[in-house]
Structure 1
Amino acid sequence: MVEMSCEDHDRYAASSQFITHTVGRILKESMLESTPINTKGYESLLGLVENTAMDSFDLYYGLFMFNKNSLEMLEKLDLAFEDLRKQLIAWLHRVVRNQLIENGERLHQLDGSNSHALHRRAPNESALLHSSQSDENTKLKIAIVGFGNFGQFLAKTIVSQGHEVLAYSRSDYSDVARKLGVLYFSDVDDLCEQHPGVILLCTSIISTVKVLKSLPFQRLKRSTLFVDVLSVKEFPRNLFLQHLPHDFDVLCTHPMFGPESGKNGWKNLPFVYDKVRIGNEESRILRCYRFLDIFASEGCRMVEMSCAEHDRHAAGSQFVTHTTGRFLEKLRLKTTPINTKGYETLLSLVKNTGRDSFDLYYSLFLYNLNAMEQLERFDLAFESLKKQLFNRLHSIYRKQLFENEQ
């Protein structure tokens, strides 16, 4: 039981009720659909759409028309979304501009050099040859490249299953590695000299190209399995196929959880994978399945799909979720004494997406070719909803004018 003045109620309700219904209706207009790789955040948005869709447009219009605070909230929502879109475009402009400048400088350097500089000599073939004797041991030697929060998060579980874990990162995480039972290397050449069977890339999307090009492939076994855990999949798939020697195996994965959502275990959390290129030898096939079993044995919901299919689904389930959370974050929403369940969902979404860097969100936009379409659909849905509200407002005002005239 909450006793408060009517004025206080309407001020709070403009957030907890009107914003909730507005977001639900925008998402409904965006035609969201359930995917095989729904995240918890996306599930909450689908639930919000279902709940708000049960109410008539008359109810929603009433929340807008008869609460003097609602128009201000609608304007704030509009400005917040526009600000987020400008941020994305500004970042895109900066990245493209930097690339053009770098490409121009590179061409200038190439023009003044000998033609042989255009072609890097392939590593000595004999240096790539290692024993092909298969390892019957079920435990893997996994090297994690990029030992930040997510790399450490995965390492903890991998070590607990008895696998040998090595790590390398630009920052010094030797103390953290020691506590986790991980052998840490400050030099990537020394790491590769250990001949790990699996190279697990846990770098950011933006730095993946640079990191991949810096690895000394000639120090690894020819059959090494490369795995990524990025939030987009076609981008790393193409990178691996373009830059890795043909003898290396490639497995693209996306654990759709992190240190926060997976802190209480990985049971029923989706793990997406695509066996892009796995050798025919039994030992290499078994190694791939042993790696996947790390996640399967923890209870993950294993989803095998192509990288292209993943990105198509993720543009909805992941990019839309982050977009909603980020533009709501700009409103600086606060809890009220009269929170609805839907509003609690939005507050939780803002909290979860706010933990991730803008770099991650921007990467979901830049490296997924389906993201722009989703952003445009979201924009059109918002415009359509505003048009419905103002058309109703206009028609009522015209009706009043004619009645008064008569």
Structure 2
Amino acid sequence: SPMRARRFTMPGLPPPPSITVIGCGRFGRFLTEQLAPIVGAAVWDADPTRLGDLPAGARPVSWDEACAGEVLVLAVPIRALPALLDRLGKQVRPRSLVIDTASVKVWPMRWMRASLPGTVQILGTHPLFGPDSAPRGLDGQRLVLVPERVRYPHLVRRTLESLGLRCVETTAEGHDREIAETQALTHWIGRALERCGARPRDVDTLGYRRLLEILRYVENDSWELFEDLERWNPYARPVRQRFLEALAHLDDEIGDSDRGDSDR
């Protein structure tokens, strides 16, 4: 088929399996745009209207066709994963590889273990990039890997690296601890800046302009993603609490600015 003809082959690697992207929201579409020209992609979404105008090498499929895929990449909101996995677990093809792409890992890994048959391979991932941070494609972008049940982990990693990705392997807990300190905190500060009305000013500093860059990373993401990132990461709340305490201590140290400035 034309789609098969577009597939790439790498020396020492077998031909890549068929890829099915489950979910065609903002990130799912971005992923499809990146993968389809290289390996081809089947795409399913609960909302068929999202499947219009797919890139070359991608084709819409039914739910039954999606479940029959060799490699299934889940690109749905975190909150949608439990119901999706419950449904998928009843139909998924034995020995297939299911890959999630959630920004948190502890809960999705638990859900996949609980819902998917033991014959199904499970790989947790978190792409540390998206449509805004990787407008030129996958080359050089970082991908976190949490291998749970993968028959040939080195082969999977080599295949991903052949796409130009830089893979970082960790545990679900290790991932969520670090993401709570980085992505979750950044999104939280960004949302707070947004609510404060932070914007470019005529009189500002380089430091302030760099602070405003945070807004670029959060303004295009949905509130749903922000909420899920904070709620489903077990380590996010303690990090937010520590940050709030640090702000309160700083405020106390500065003291009352109204104590008098007659000597200025």
* TM value normalised by structure 1: 0.57
Partner of 1:300: 165
Tell me, yes or no, if the aligned pair for 1:274 and 1:304 is still in contact at 8 Å: yes
Please give the alpha-carbon distance, in whole angstroms, between the structure 1 residues aligned to 2:56 and 2:132: 18
Please give the alpha-carbon distance, in whole angstroms, between the structure 1 residues aligned to 2:163 and 2:249: 44
Distance 1:267 1:341, change over 3 A: farther
Which blocks of at least 5 consecutive residues in structure 2 are unaligned?
1-12
Distance 1:260 1:295, change over 3 A: farther
Please give the alpha-carbon distance, in whole angstroms, between the structure 2 residues aligned to 1:292 and 1:153: 21
Instruction: Please point out which of 36, 40, 46 is paired with 1:159.
Output: 36
The structure where strand makes up a greater share of residues is 2
For 1:179-190, what aligned pairs fall within 5 Å after superposition? Answer: 179-185=55-61, 187-190=62-65
Partner of 1:333: 198
Please give the alpha-carbon distance, in whole angstroms, between the structure 2 residues aligned to 1:158 and 1:344: 35
Please give the alpha-carbon distance, in whole angstroms, between the structure 2 residues aligned to 1:149 and 1:141: 22
Q: How much does 1:164 deviate?
A: 3.3
Partner of 1:347: 212
Tell me, yes or no, if the aligned pair for 1:322 and 1:361 is still in contact at 8 Å: yes
Q: Which structure has the larger Rg? A: 1
For 1:110-259, what aligned pairs fall within 5 Å after superposition? Answer: 137-161=14-38, 163-172=39-48, 173-177=50-54, 179-185=55-61, 187-192=62-67, 195-215=68-88, 217-218=90-91, 220-259=92-131
Q: Return the structure number with greater relative CO, CA threshold 8 A, min gap 6.
A: 1
Q: How much does 1:289 deviate?
A: 4.7
Distance 1:304 1:174, change over 3 A: same
Q: Which SS does the other structure have where 1:299 is aligned?
A: coil
Tell me, yes or no, if the aligned pair for 2:21 and 2:41 is still in contact at 8 Å: yes
Query: Does 2:188 correspond to 1:311?
Result: no
Q: How much does 1:258 deviate?
A: 0.4
Distance 1:374 1:335, change over 3 A: same
Please give the alpha-carbon distance, in whole angstroms, between the structure 2 residues aligned to 1:309 and 1:298: 25
Q: Which SS does the other structure have where 1:180 is aligned?
A: coil
Tell me, yes or no, if the aligned pair for 1:140 and 1:164 is still in contact at 8 Å: no
Q: How much does 1:291 deviate?
A: 4.6
Q: How much does 1:190 deviate?
A: 3.2
Please give the alpha-carbon distance, in whole angstroms, between the structure 2 residues aligned to 1:160 and 1:150: 16
Q: Which SS does the other structure have where 2:53 is aligned?
A: helix
Q: Tell me which amino acid in the other structure corresponds to 2:191.
A: R
Tell me, yes or no, if the aligned pair for 1:255 and 1:271 is still in contact at 8 Å: yes
Tell me, yes or no, if the aligned pair for 2:44 and 2:51 is still in contact at 8 Å: no
Q: Which SS does the other structure have where 2:73 is aligned?
A: strand
Q: Tell me which amino acid in the other structure corresponds to 1:238.
A: R
Distance 1:300 1:340, change over 3 A: farther
Q: How much does 1:338 deviate?
A: 2.9
Percent identity between matched residues is: 27
Alignment RMSD = 2.1
Instruction: Please point out which of 259, 269, 274 is paired with 2:141.
Output: 269
Tell me, yes or no, if the aligned pair for 1:229 and 1:255 is still in contact at 8 Å: yes
Distance 1:234 1:358, change over 3 A: same
Q: Which SS does the other structure have where 1:206 is aligned?
A: helix
Distance 1:295 1:207, change over 3 A: same
- Number of residues paired by the alignment? 248
Tell me, yes or no, if the aligned pair for 1:188 and 1:215 is still in contact at 8 Å: no
Which blocks of at least 5 consecutive residues in structure 1 are unaligned?
1-135, 280-284, 401-406
Please give the alpha-carbon distance, in whole angstroms, between the structure 1 residues aligned to 2:90 and 2:56: 27
Q: Which SS does the other structure have where 2:130 is aligned?
A: coil
The structure where helix makes up a greater share of residues is 1
Q: Deviations over 1:51-70 (max 9, x none)?
A: xxxxxxxxxxxxxxxxxxxx
Q: How much does 1:290 deviate?
A: 5.2
Please give the alpha-carbon distance, in whole angstroms, between the structure 1 residues aligned to 2:51 and 2:121: 29
